[in-house]
Structure 1
């Protein structure tokens, strides 16, 4: 079985919705098992409540768990053109895996939510990939075989660098069906690549 992890941080539910779509796409690839985990919160509960953060009972991810998967998709909101601090702190705790080369050759993808079309959407997708490449992971984006990203029907998130959605400055916009379709596409894309790499490794070991 090919094991895929969807690890996300979400404040208002937009990234969580994308994560669920990513998981749906990955599960559609035969022989794939998928786990969804949320990145641990660092904001005090009182602040979460006053800011209107959405409650989330999804089990938490642990940095040590990353080594157990063939492919990992990371989802984050945008904070000034970069990943959320919660995601950065989580990745910073994976130094032991980096030292052991435990993530080298695993497939990774990134998806994101941003407040506006020009609020750092692509910058977040790209900058989040940087530490993943330091881990030695192989980056899979969202190729133009997903034609939805060229749609002119409304406000569409995502880019060749990964799936995404535009939440609006007040967070009132929900992911569009095109955004969710892009996430499903990316989830399946990463799962297929991970399965092909795992099958190739098995053949090499058997030779």
Structure 2
């Protein structure tokens, strides 16, 4: 059974909601899935004044834990077309794992959110994938077998690079992940889990031979 870590950062809860859907998808495929978040860098007083969602139940992850998983699925909101500083700060601490090749051959995947349709969803995912490549991970996206990403009857996130959601309703108000976006997240979780389990089985066969 593959072990999946859904590692996320979420200021207002949109990525938190997507992370839970990703984990559900991984479990549907028969994997175990833990959901953990990276530490907040914003002072509590500032975060509270800014309306951050501070009651998130997921435990805070430790960098050393990453090596214990077969796959890591990262969720981060977009900050000017790239990952959040909180996620970047966490990943910048993986130098020791990189030096010891602890993450080489593990599966990596990314999902995101933006405040608008053209807010940098694809660049955020791709720039995060760059870090995973440097760590030696094998990147998995959201294939077009998830047909929800090509629908034209509604505004929706998701791309072949990974699941995504739009966090603004277009009038400055809050928009929660749609069912189509959540299904994209679940699909990505299942897909990553299936790939991780297939790789694990292949390694077992080679060892047995």
- With structure 2 as the length reference, what TM-score do the two structures score? 0.97
Matched residue SS, 2:109: strand
Residue 57 of structure 1, CA deviation? 2.8
- With structure 1 as the length reference, what TM-score do the two structures score? 0.98
Separation of aligned partners in 2, 1:7 and 1:25: 15
Structure 2 residue aligned with 1:101:
101
Larger displacement relative to structure 2 (173-182 or 152-161) = 152-161
Aligned-residue RMSD, C-alpha: 0.9
Matched residue SS, 2:48: helix
Residues paired across the two proteins, number: 206
1:121 aligns to 2:125 (yes or no):
no
1:37 aligns to 2:39 (yes or no):
no
Separation of aligned partners in 2, 1:203 and 1:107: 19
Matched residue SS, 1:7: strand
Separation of aligned partners in 2, 1:171 and 1:15: 17
Which of 147, 171, 174 aligns to 1:172? It is: 174
Contact (CA 8 Å) 1:12, 1:171: kept in 2 or not? no
The runs of 5 or more residues in structure 1 that have no matched partner are none
1:190 aligns to 2:176 (yes or no):
no
Structure 1 residue aligned with 2:50:
51
The runs of 5 or more residues in structure 2 that have no matched partner are none
Residue 153 of structure 1, CA deviation? 2.3
Write out the 4+ residue segments of structure 1 that deviate beyond 6 Å after TM superposition.
none
Separation of aligned partners in 1, 2:79 and 2:173: 14
Separation of aligned partners in 1, 2:90 and 2:177: 25
Contact (CA 8 Å) 1:108, 1:139: kept in 2 or not? yes
After TM superposition, list the pairs within 5 Å mapping 1:53-202 onto structure 2.
53-55=52-54, 56-168=56-168, 170=172, 172-202=174-204
